[in-house]
């Protein structure tokens, strides 16, 4: 299977990666709904209380403090072998649902990364003025207001019930329509619209290689399913 996947990589002209929390799991970033992992975030926390506009309206302090915890933790973590394998491929586009910056820290050109669900390295205005600010992960802000329009500031991520950033979505959709190989890495493929990109790529003729230790919502679309951890599998199928 590994050899077959490596051969597909070698033959393909346009390769796109589509990743989820499993890509960063070996760095110590918790996943969300990993069935075999008791420390998954949504096993311990209520997603609607912590990652929705309603939750933010109900208790902004709790939401911002939860993100501050995630941010200070991320600051202490390092990219893993899977991030480095992806970063070494200058010819690929990387679509990720991850809000961390580990692909960037592994040396991936930021222009080759599409953060479909935003990034926790920035805050943005929760009002409509569009103000965005980079934040310091080691010293994350607590509750504060926008210096342009005084609405509350919040992490620049997509919450449940919110639209994906238009530009990121359009770019991801186009890439999945045009690629000939989609590497689906470490995602349960249960959250839409992001997960729909896998079926889109498949319907346009792309081969699908799935890398995940467990079965996922992408399994039935896989031409090749590599059962294993991203940090062990990717360096073997993505020779530099
Ligand atoms: P999930 O937590 O839903 O899924 C993580 C997947 O990674 C699971 O299928 C695991 O089996 C797999 N996995 C675990 N360790 C792995 C490893 N070392 N190598 C490869 N795979 C591994 O995370 P996502 O699919 O990213 O959205 O979740 C999608 C979205 O749901 C997130 O972006 C987030 C969440 O709610 C928002 O917050 C909007």
Give the domain range for residue 178.
1-29+79-117+164-240
Q: Which of 129, 157, 185 is the last residue of a domain?
A: 157
Residues 179 and 212 placed together within one structural domain of the fold = yes
Using CA atoms, how far apart are residues 238 and 5, in angstroms rounded to an integer? 9
User: What's the whole-number mean pLDDT along residues 151-176?
Assistant: 97
Average pLDDT, the chain: 95
pLDDT at 60: 97
Nearest CA to ligand 1 atom 35: 32
Band of residue 42 on the pLDDT scale cut at 50, 70, 90: confident
Residues 227 and 178 placed together within one structural domain of the fold = yes
Band of residue 38 on the pLDDT scale cut at 50, 70, 90: confident
Residues 1 and 90 placed together within one structural domain of the fold = yes
**SS3 state of residue 150:** coil
Cis amide bond preceding 193, omega within 30 = yes
pLDDT at 239: 76
Angle, CA 44 vertex, CA 39 and CA 49 arms, to 5°: 140
Angle, CA 234 vertex, CA 231 and CA 236 arms, to 5°: 110
Q: Which of 157, 183, 210 is the last residue of a domain?
A: 157
When mean pLDDT is compared across 40-44, 153-157, 198-202, the lowest value belongs to 40-44
Band of residue 68 on the pLDDT scale cut at 50, 70, 90: very high
State the CATH number of the domain containing residue 21.
3.40.50.1220
Using CA atoms, how far apart are residues 178 and 182, in angstroms rounded to an integer? 10
Distances (CA, A) of 234 to 40, 77, 226: 23, 20, 10
> Do 164 and 194 form a contact (C-beta atoms < 8 A)?
yes
CA of 240 to the centre of ligand 1 (A): 26
Q: Encode pLDDT of 168-227 as tens digits.
A: 999 999 999 999 999 999 999 999 999 999 999 999 999 999 999 999 999 999 999 999
pLDDT at 29: 94
pLDDT at 33: 85
DSSP 240: -
Q: Which of 157, 187, 213 is the last residue of a domain?
A: 157
pLDDT at 45: 84
Distances (CA, A) of 225 to 17, 39, 46, 47, 185: 14, 25, 31, 29, 10
Residues 47 and 103 placed together within one structural domain of the fold = no
Nearest CA to ligand 1 atom 25: 187
CA of 25 to the centre of ligand 1 (A): 8
Residues 141 and 213 placed together within one structural domain of the fold = no
What is the rounded end-to-end Cα distance, in angstroms, of the chain?
19
pLDDT at 44: 81
**SS3 state of residue 19:** strand
**Ligand 1 atom nearest 20 alpha carbon:** 26
Residues 92 and 211 placed together within one structural domain of the fold = yes
Residues 100 and 122 placed together within one structural domain of the fold = no
Q: How many domains does the chain have?
A: 2
CA of 33 to the centre of ligand 1 (A): 6
Band of residue 37 on the pLDDT scale cut at 50, 70, 90: confident
Residues 2 and 54 placed together within one structural domain of the fold = no
State the CATH number of the domain containing residue 37.
3.30.1600.10
Q: Taking Cα atoms as reference points, which of 194, 191, 158 lies closest to residue 175?
A: 194
Residues 8 and 95 placed together within one structural domain of the fold = yes
Q: List Cβ neighbours of 68 (8 Å cut-off, separation of 6 or more).
A: 140, 141, 142
pLDDT at 155: 98
Catalytic residue list = 117
Band of residue 40 on the pLDDT scale cut at 50, 70, 90: confident
Using CA atoms, how far apart are residues 144 and 203, in angstroms rounded to an integer? 45
Pocket, ligand 1, Cβ cutoff 6 A: 20-22, 25-26, 31-34, 40, 47, 51, 97, 117, 158, 186-188, 190-191, 211-214, 216, 229-230
Q: Encode pLDDT of 88-136 as tens digits.
A: 999 999 999 999 999 999 999 999 999 999 999 999 999 999 999 999 9
Residues 186 and 234 placed together within one structural domain of the fold = yes
Residues 124 and 58 placed together within one structural domain of the fold = yes
pLDDT at 220: 98
Residues 238 and 125 placed together within one structural domain of the fold = no
């Amino acid at each position: 299977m590994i050899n077959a996947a490596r051969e597909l990589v070698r033959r393909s002209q346009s390769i796109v990666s589509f990743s989820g929390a499993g890509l960063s799991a070996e760095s110590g970033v918790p996943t969300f709904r990993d069935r075999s992992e008791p420390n998954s975030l949504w096993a311990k926390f209520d997603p609607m209380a912590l990652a929705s506009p309603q939750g933010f309206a109900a208790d902004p302090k709790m939401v911002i403090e939860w993100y501050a915890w995630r941010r200070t933790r991320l600051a202490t973590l390092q990219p893993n072998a899977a991030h480095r394998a992806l970063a070494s491929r200058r010819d690929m586009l990387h679509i990720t649902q991850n809000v961390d910056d580990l692909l960037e820290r592994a040396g991936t050109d930021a222009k080759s990364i599409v953060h479909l669900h935003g990034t926790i390295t920035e805050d943005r205005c929760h009002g409509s003025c569009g103000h965005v600010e980079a934040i310091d992960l080691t010293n994350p802000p607590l509750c504060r207001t926008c210096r342009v329009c005084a609405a509350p500031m919040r992490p620049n991520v997509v919450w449940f019930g919110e639209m994906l950033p238009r530009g990121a979505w359009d770019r991801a959709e186009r890439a999945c329509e045009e690629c000939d190989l989609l590497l689906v890495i470490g995602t349960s493929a249960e959250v839409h619209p992001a997960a729909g990109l896998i079926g889109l790529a498949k319907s346009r003729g792309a081969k699908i290689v799935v890398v995940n230790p467990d079965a996922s919502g992408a399994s039935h679309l896989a031409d090749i399913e590599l059962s294993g951890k991203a940090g062990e599998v990717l360096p073997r199928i993505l020779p530099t």
